[in-house]
């Protein structure tokens, strides 16, 4: 039998003659590692960008269109009015009350979450019996679904069936049911704002405590013990060892 030659003119290579597959050479531009990383990175980011753009960008642009026109929900097609809606909102007493309540809620809830979260994180860092059980109980408000917690607090703050009012009445801290001393938690503006702030803080401050605890546990225990041996009190250890 004759051998297949791969060198003669007009003859096929030996690899093709015996049916051996050959690798396809990638284009020169694709051989660059930087190009491949660029394409791979943007291929991973594209779905997230499209998702955020559709769920955030489109509603934002539509809200901007509504703010700069006299459109309404029933008549979305309208004429451009500029900042007339903004000027009308600023002059409205209802808008000023809503803005004030929003500022009070945001600042009050943020300060309360920071203070309670920091305090709770330092308390849970101490060694005491049942610390793991207490940690699990503290995290429970953050793990409860929002709908479940909202319905539960709505029932507890109800004007007629409030278990909070019942407990306060049994302790003789408020008047009996139906008297003037019976608070309507969700019916009076000041009490409603305070109630919503309390529920928001109750649900969110455990998360801040968990984040702070993660940072506190990164401090080596030997460093804290050495500070105790040197006579540093809690505030000194906090200011000079833990926080830095």
How many CB atoms lie under 10 A from the CB of residue 121? 22
Taking the C-alpha atoms of residue 62 and residue 68, their distance in angstroms, rounded to an integer, is 10
Amino acid 22: pLDDT: 54
- Structural domain boundaries of the chain? 24-91, 97-244
Asked if the model's pLDDT at residue 200 lies above 80, the reply is yes
The answer for 94, left when phi > 0, alpha when psi is -120 to 50, beta otherwise, is alpha
Taking the C-alpha atoms of residue 163 and residue 169, their distance in angstroms, rounded to an integer, is 10
100-105-106-107 Cα dihedral, nearest 10 degrees: 90
Q: What is the greatest pairwise CA distance in the chain?
A: 114
pLDDT in tens, 153-199: 988 888 777 888 888 888 877 776 656 667 888 888 888 999 999 99
Asked if the model's pLDDT at residue 55 lies above 70, the reply is yes
How many CB atoms lie under 10 A from the CB of residue 217? 11
**Is 67 within 8 Å of 86 (Cβ atoms)?**
yes
pLDDT bucket at 4, cuts 50 / 70 / 90: very low
**Looking at the whole model, is its pTM more than 0.75?**
no
User: Which is nearest to 216 in space by CA: 119, 142, 78?
Assistant: 119
Amino acid 3: pLDDT: 47
| 108 CB burial (10 A radius; 0-12, 13-18, 19+) | middle
pLDDT in tens, 217-243: 777 777 777 777 777 777 777 777 776
Q: Hey, is 80 helix, strand or coil?
A: strand
- Looking at the DSSP assignment, which residues form a beta bridge with residue 69? 80
Taking the C-alpha atoms of residue 205 and residue 211, their distance in angstroms, rounded to an integer, is 10
Amino acid 2: pLDDT: 45
- Pick one of 3.40.718.10, 1.10.3720.10, 1.10.10.2160, 2.160.10.10 as the CATH number of 97-244: 1.10.3720.10
């Amino acid at each position: 039998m004759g051998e297949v030659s791969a060198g003669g003119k007009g003859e096929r290579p030996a690899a093709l003659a015996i049916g051996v597959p050959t690798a396809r050479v990638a284009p020169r531009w694709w051989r660059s590692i930087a190009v491949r990383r660029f394409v791979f990175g943007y291929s991973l980011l594209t779905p997230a960008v499209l998702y955020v753009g559709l769920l955030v960008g489109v509603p934002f642009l539509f809200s901007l269109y509504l703010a700069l026109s006299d459109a309404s929900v029933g008549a979305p097609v309208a004429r451009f009015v500029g900042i007339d809606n903004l000027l009308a909102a600023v002059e409205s007493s209802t808008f000023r009350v809503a803005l004030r309540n929003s500022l009070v809620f945001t600042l009050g809830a943020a300060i309360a979450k920071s203070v309670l979260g920091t305090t709770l994180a330092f308390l849970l860092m101490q060694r005491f019996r049942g610390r793991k059980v207490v940690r699990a109980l503290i995290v429970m408000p953050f793990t409860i679904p929002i709908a479940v917690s909202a319905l539960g607090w709505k029932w507890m703050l109800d004007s007629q069936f409030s278990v909070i009012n019942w407990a306060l009445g049994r302790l003789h801290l408020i008047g009996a049911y139906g008297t003037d001393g019976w608070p309507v938690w969700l019916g009076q503006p000041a009490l409603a704002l305070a109630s919503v702030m309390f529920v928001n803080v109750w649900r969110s401050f455990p998360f801040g405590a968990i984040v702070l605890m993660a940072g506190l546990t990164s401090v080596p225990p030997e460093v804290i013990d050495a500070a105790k041996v040197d006579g540093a009190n809690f505030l000194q250890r906090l200011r000079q060892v833990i926080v830095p």
